[in-house]
Amino acid sequence: MATSRDSSVLLMISLVGSLLMLLSAANLHQDIDITWGDGRAKILNNGELLTLSLDKASGSGFQSKNEYLFGKIDMQLKLVPGNSAGTVTAYYLSSQGSTHDEIDFEFLGNLSGDPYILHTNVFSQGKGNREQQFYLWFDPTANFHTYSILWNPKCIIFCVDGTPIREFKNSESIGVPYPKKQAMRIYSSLWNADDWATRGGLVKTDWNGAPFTASYRNFNANACIWSSGASSCSSAGSSSNSWLSQELDSTSQERLHWVQKNYMIYNYCTDTKRFPLGLPQECNMS
């Protein structure tokens, strides 16, 4: 398990990441459209803060105004505190249609005192089933933390406060579909999923604690905006879009392996019971 020194290093990295995000605060009115919830979603503080709420009648959600085809997307979230069992806070990139692409962060609620589960997944051409799940090394309800998706033609990297927790490489060379042709928007929602979210549905939502609220700030999209069939990056200089070819360096690989060793609680690539005829092809890549 993690040592106190290792945890302290990660917490320091988290704080640095949070401070850097504060320096680039955006006006959410310019980037986000509230899409559902009948007033349960709000943009506050002159566009600096967004909140989603869930009660017994409804949840709420938003989407980005722009579509993106590759990008580095950051958002700071503070999750539902207290007894959040049964609730799911979803934050993800997605295209539309039956063969959609999708890159998911989902935060599965908990009983007070138990850790949140961070659920991740990648869909390409309508096919997902690539879940990895983690505990976090901090309380995600006490303060804001930065959750990032780096998506480029080579790989998808999930980061928490700048620390990589998952990498999904482009494995088209061995026949694995990779999301690279469909533009995606950012979506987020807070909703009731007590049929499966907490201990497989054994723990139900306690509506005495409603309304449940998650908070968002400091959205940043260093990304290729897709509009009218063209990408904003097609004529941009390579120096301003270095993330388009970015991969994990050796230091980041070490941090990724450390997180996966100490905080990963499920990996589809080791679930032989789920895939009795053989693990998915990308699981055999080094």
Say how far apart CA 201 and CA 101 lie, in whole Å. 27
Q: Which residue has the tokens 């604690």?
A: 209
CA quadruple 90, 78, 142, 22: dihedral, nearest 10:
140
Q: Which of 102, 167, 247, 254 is catalytic?
A: 102
Query: Is 102 annotated in the active site?
Result: yes
* Contact by Cβ (8 Å): 99, 125: yes
Collect all residues with Cβ–Cβ distance below 8 Å to 3 and sequence separation of at least 6: none
Give the residue from 155, 133, 175, 131 showing the smallest Cα distance to 275. Answer: 131
Q: Which of 106, 131, 254, 282 is catalytic?
A: 106
Query: Is 67 annotated in the active site?
Result: no
Collect all residues with Cβ–Cβ distance below 8 Å to 258 and sequence separation of at least 6: 6
Residues assigned a catalytic role: 102, 106
